[in-house]
Every structure is written in C-alpha cells, then in structure tokens.
Structure 1
C-alpha cells in the first residue's frame, strides 16, 4: 500500500519521477497540448509553390515564344535575296515578289507597290531586329 502513488503523480520504478521529460502533459495545471494543423499548412505551401512555378513556367514560355519568333524572322531575312552587304544600324525592308521570292531592300513600303513583309534593323551581333510589318506572317 505504501508503494501506491496517486493517479496524478508520474512515477515508475525504472525512471522515477520523470514528468518533466515526457512529451505530454502530466498534470491538471499543465498547458494544453494542441496538435498543429499541418495539413492546411502543407496545402497552403503547395498552392503557393504551384502558383510561383506556374508563373515562372508562363514567363519562360513567353520568352521561348519570343526567341522562336526572333529566330524565324532572322531565318527569313538571312534566306532572302539581296546583293549588297547590310550595314549595322541601317533599316531595311523585306518584300515578297510575284514569284514568292523574298528580297531585302532599302526602299520603304510607301515608295513602291510591293508586298511588304517587315521592316528590320541589323544590330551589332548581326541579328535582324523586327521593327514592324506583317505581325501575323508566321501564324498563317
């Protein structure tokens, strides 16, 4: 009978009085232990990460589309017919003749009646910069 301890006392023969090292409350006056709502925290985290990754993906997709458009314009201009060496910084105009052949010219679209494809400027990297013209040329 002497060995019997009250119910609210934490005692074992092996560990003794060990209430201070237990991971749970052992007395009436101990603070309430609440389990954190980790599921909603994870859900919010996943939503935030998915939004961020989705935005990054859309940004990369737009950059890729712009890069492909630049590539297509440069491919078109470099494959066009011209018999002069283009000067860096000058503005040139791309046309299509009656046979469907593309050619590059210094003559502006207002100065003659040819099918104007686009206006370009050659930069120092030898890349043709599209300035204006038929924006829907590659969509068709």
Structure 2
C-alpha cells in the first residue's frame, strides 16, 4: 500500500516537504488568503477623480465666461465713437446718445446728464478694463 500523507502536510514528489518556501500559508494556523476588494477602491477613485474633473471644468467655465464678458466690453468700447487717442491708465466713461450710438468721454456720470453704460480704464495691453 502507498504511503499516504495527511491533508494538512505539504508534500511534493519532486520537492519533498517544501512548505517553508511557498509564497502562501500552508498550515491551518496560517493567515487566510483574502482577495482585496478592488470594486470599492475603484469606485472611490472614480468618485474622487470625477470631483476633480468637475471642479476643473467649473473653474474653466468661469474663466471662459469672464473672458467672454471682457471681450464684449472691449468690443463695445472699441466700436464706440471717440475723437481722441485714449491714454493708458486714464479712466473713461461710455455713454449712449439720444440718437442711439455709443461714445467715450472723460466726463464722469455725476457731471453729465447722459445715459451712462460703464466706466473703463485702458491698460498697457490696450485692453479696456470695466470698472464697477
């Protein structure tokens, strides 16, 4: 009759008793082999990354809206009538005439009874900055 080994003993015909060199536990007292829960790790990662993308998207959207608003103000001022060369750093006021066209002036809204559209300052890049 063959020499039978108990189930809890690790024996190989080629290597013999090799329990000490195996990468996993071989006795009843060895720690259990558990598969990591990658589904929850992935879902947490996806949630965090999606929040970052949403935050960055909202930030870019706000920058885009600000850029569009800045463009529209500049277009409005550059398409208005003025008969002088604006000086960088000076404050100018944009008005709407009774005839319906826009014009730029140095006269402030408190000193003149015209429809005031906005107050602007010309920066060094020749961009009109809308002042509140």
Give yes or no for the alignment of 1:19 onto 2:56.
Answer: no
- SS class of match (2:62): helix
Structure 1 unmatched runs, 5+? 133-140
In structure 2, the partner of 1:48 is 48
Aligned length: 132
Give the TM-score taking structure 1 as reference length: 0.86
CA–CA distance in 1 between the matches of 2:61 and 2:94? 28
Which aligned pairs between 1:1-140 and structure 2 lie closer than 5 A?
1-20=1-20, 22=22, 24-132=24-132
- SS class of match (1:31): coil
Cα distance, 1:19 vs structure 2? 3.3
After superposition, the CA RMSD in angstroms is: 1.6
**How big is each residue's C-alpha offset from its partner over 1:3-62, in whole Å with a ceiling of 9 and x where there is no partner?**
321111122324543434555432111112222221111111111111111111101110
Choose 18-27 or 53-62, whichever is displaced more: 18-27
Give the TM-score taking structure 2 as reference length: 0.90
Cα distance, 1:99 vs structure 2? 2.0
**How big is each residue's C-alpha offset from its partner over 1:62-112, in whole Å with a ceiling of 9 and x where there is no partner?**
011101111110111011100000000000000111122111000111111
Q: 1:103 to 1:21 in 2, by over 3 A?
A: farther
CA–CA distance in 2 between the matches of 1:17 and 1:42? 40
CA–CA distance in 1 between the matches of 2:80 and 2:115? 14
**How big is each residue's C-alpha offset from its partner over 1:101-139, in whole Å with a ceiling of 9 and x where there is no partner?**
11100011111111111000001111100002xxxxxxx
CA–CA distance in 2 between the matches of 1:4 and 1:55? 66
